[in-house]
Structure 1
Amino acid sequence: MTIRIVATAFVFACSAACDRRDADGHRPASQRAAAPADAAVAPEPVSVAPQPVVPAPPRDRVQAFCEANYRRLIECIDDKAFWNVMATLYFQTDPQLAANPAAKEPWIEMMRDAALTLHREGELANNCRATLDHNKWPTEEQMRRVDAARAQSCAAFGNAYGYMMFGEGVFFEVTSPVDDADAPQAD
Structure 2
Amino acid sequence: VKKYLDTPYGLVLNNPPYTRYYPELGEISTYPPGYKENASIFCHNNPWIMIGETVAGNGDQAFEYYRKICPAYLQEIQELHRTEPYVYSQMIAGKDAVIPGEAKNSWLTGAAAWNYYAVSRYILGIRPEYQGLRVDPCLPASLDEIRISRVFRGATYHIHIRNGDRGKGVKSIRLDGKPFEKDLVPLFPKGTRHEIIIELH
TM-score under structure 1 normalisation?
A: 0.24
Greater relative contact order (Cα 8 A, min sep 6): structure 1 or 2? 1
Q: Which has the higher helix share?
A: 1
Larger Rg: 2
